[in-house]
Amino acid sequence: MMSDTRRRRICVPALAGIFVGGAGTRMGGVAKGLMRTAEGITIIERWRRILERLEVHVVLVGERDEYAEIGMEIVADEPPGIGPLGGLIGLLRRAKNAPALALGCDMPFISVGLVERLLTASPGAPIVAPRRDGRWEPLCARYDPAQVLPWAEPLAFTGDHSLNRLCRLADAVELALSHREESELRDWDTPEDLDRTRTC
């Protein structure tokens, strides 16, 4: 149980968006956010519990019929059809002046502690994100809408919709991770990822 002092220190008014709009083709088209974690709950529900504990409002980003019955607010891609960048623009517009957390629906291992650090690290930075294998993790990251939208919106009309490019253009700040935290970034992107989890 967190003390009131601890809660006040980590609780940053923010909006979290769980990105669910991907086709999941490498998983046979499954809605990855509805896969069940070791706790016996879906990844979406696990994220929701973490974020509610931190008093962060959470929405789903992207539109898939499988999530319609969950009863959570859905933020559409703006514009659709350009991958996660469209979802991020929609999320940042919805967040307005609040920091926005962009979170992948296929990450079943992220801890409360890592989300706390994302919320509080490097105040004022345009983007705060970990790096893995030399690349940014843009769907485990915090964004400042006012600083990032001027970079993100023009990218929607180019041929490069890469969120890693956006991180470079907007001068993202790296969130350094411990070895344990690095392991939390493992995702369920392919059937092989699930097999490795079951054999660990």
Give the phi and the psi of residue 2 in degrees, each rounded to 5.
Answer: -80, 140
Domains in the chain with CATH codes? 4-199 (3.90.550.10)
Q: Alpha-carbon distance 66 to 44, whole Å?
A: 12
C-alpha dist (Å) from residue 17 to 5, 22, 86, 89, 200: 26, 14, 13, 11, 29
Please give the span between the terminal C-alpha atoms of the chain, in angstroms, as a whole number: 29
Q: Which residues pair with 57 in a beta bridge?
A: 15
DSSP 13-33: --EEEEE-----GGGTT--GG
Residues 6+ apart with CB under 8 A from 99: 12, 13, 14, 15, 119, 142, 143, 144, 145
Q: Alpha-carbon distance 36 to 44, whole Å?
A: 9
pTM of the model as a whole: 0.88
| pLDDT (tens place) for every residue of the chain, 200 residues total | 444 434 444 455 899 999 997 655 554 567 889 999 989 999 999 999 999 999 999 999 998 888 888 999 999 999 999 999 999 999 999 999 999 999 999 999 999 999 999 999 999 999 999 999 889 999 999 999 999 999 999 999 999 999 999 999 999 999 999 999 999 999 866 545 444 444 33
Token pair belonging to 169: 């253009």
| pLDDT value at residue 5 | 36
| pLDDT value at residue 111 | 96
